[in-house]
Amino acid sequence: MNANTARQALRSVARASGASTERTLLARAPAAQRAMSTLLANRSSCSKHAAAAVPAASAAKQQLRGYRMLKFADTEEKVYERSDWPVERLQQYFKDDTFCVLGYGSQGYAQSLNMRDQGMNVIVGVRKDGASWKEAQEDGFVPGETLFPVEEAIERGTIIMNLLSDAAQASTWPTISKLIKPGKTLYFSHGFSVVFKEDTNIVPPKDVDVILCAPKGSGRTVRSLFKEGKGINSSVAVFQDVTGKALEKAVATGIAVGSGYIYETTFEKEVYSDLYGERGCLMGGIQGMFKAQYDVLRANGHSPSEAFNETCEEALMSLFPLVGEHGMDYMYKACSTTARRGALDWAPEFEKACKPVFERLYASVKDGSETRRALEFGNRPTYRQDYDKETDAIADQEMWRVGHTVRALRPDRQSR
């Protein structure tokens, strides 16, 4: 099975098991989170997917804040939380709006379903009869009612959510821009297109609000955390405020698409930090470090299983979860004194070795080199096949082939 076929199979399984998965997650959710999960369990099966029942707690009984000021280390920042935007408040706030989601990829899929589950009026705009059109239909969007060609969807929508790929945003902008009329809101989940306008040629109309909500994770994570009654952290930004309400609208939309809490940034800072992080610790850096450590172990006579377990499995299954839940200091304290001593001694060495790479990386993001590279690649007619070729090559590395066998040995997978 090639990578493309595998991805499609996984997506089909996810859709087919959606209802039972949501019931399982609901059973596991803490009591404080069940109000959101109840929305999912009670969804209507009719074609229009009527809004789910609202939580029992009345909005009138809640003390609604605009935001909280929290200290992050020594810096105070505003934080917006989902508790200040209960479902009934969202529904009232957006009662006259239609969210038009352009594109049904990772973020389009997640954000549209999360909004629909909370009773928002959501339509999807994609190329008629294309792959995304069929996927949206599988998820319950109905042609002529909630699923339209791009141009018609924009005309019907009030909040235009441009969630096409970065390359597609640039290539379709000449058509889309003419349809963004006064009174509409233009929404992005990435500052890429607007910040690097010299390369994308995307300059928003002067007479509309232009906002951003960027979930800090893949669309799959945005969706799964929402279904668990949790919520991903996201950033919001305002590029253009015509109505005087653009920030409030961005925050409310951020909660509607599945955020648990939200902090403020700018379009420019969002895209710089995002491109930098993906290429660094979030994805590129991890693959590079894992591969280097694995290869050195193998070159020194260690077996494939030992090299993988000491490089990837222990990190992903034991140590990284401790860091995520409690912090690096806690993880250090949870390990043996010998491991702690070595980690403390070698961390500065890795910092010293890596910092010049990170400095070059940030400079490459800031000067637009990464943008031009991404656009050039994304505009190739064969970009999907080319990406698959590179990611399939990673899958074929011994390290990750070993990983398939190791993961199958996990006790929780034995019964699958």
Q: Which residues are known catalytic residues?
A: 190
Long-range Cβ contact pairs of 319-328 (< 8 A, separation 24 or more): none
Residue 336, marked binder: yes
Nearest CA to 56 out of 29, 76, 86, 81 is that of 86
- Distance, in Å, from the CA atom of 250 to the CA atom of 252, rounded to the nearest integer, reads 6
Nearest CA to 255 out of 379, 111, 98 is that of 111
- Distance, in Å, from the CA atom of 180 to the CA atom of 288, rounded to the nearest integer, reads 42
Residue 278, marked binder: yes
Residue 228, marked binder: no
Residue 306, marked binder: no
Nearest CA to 213 out of 367, 101, 87, 315 is that of 101
Q: Could you count the other beta carbons within 10 Å of the beta carbon of residue 269?
A: 14
- Tell me, letter by letter, the H, E, C secondary structure of the chain: CCHHHHHHHHHHHHHHCHHHHHHHHHHHCCHHHHHHHHHHHCCCCCCCCCCCCCCCCCHHHCCCCCCEEEEECCEEEEEEEHHHCCHHHHHHHCCCCCEEEECCCHHHHHHHHHHHHCCCCEEEECCCCCHHHHHHHHCCCCECCCEECHHHHHHHCCEEEECCCHHHHHHHHHHHHHHCCCCCEEEECCCHHHHCHHHHCCCCCCCCEEEEEEECCCHHHHHHHHHCCCCEEEEEEEEECCCCCHHHHHHHHHHHCCEEEEEECCHHHHHHHHHHHHHCCCCHHHHHHHHHHHHHHHHCCCCHHHHHHHHHHHHHHHHHHHHHHHCHHHHHHHCCHHHHHHHHHHHHHHHHHHHHHHHHHHHHHHCCHHHHHHHHHHCCCCHHHHHHHHHHHHHCCHHHHHHHHHHHCCHHHCCC
- Sequence-separated (6 or more) residues with CB below 8 Å from residue 328: none
Residue 155, marked binder: no
The binding site for substrate comprises: 336
Q: Which residues are annotated as a binding site for Mg(2+)?
A: 274, 278, 310, 314
User: Which residues are annotated binding-site positions?
Assistant: 274, 278, 310, 314, 336
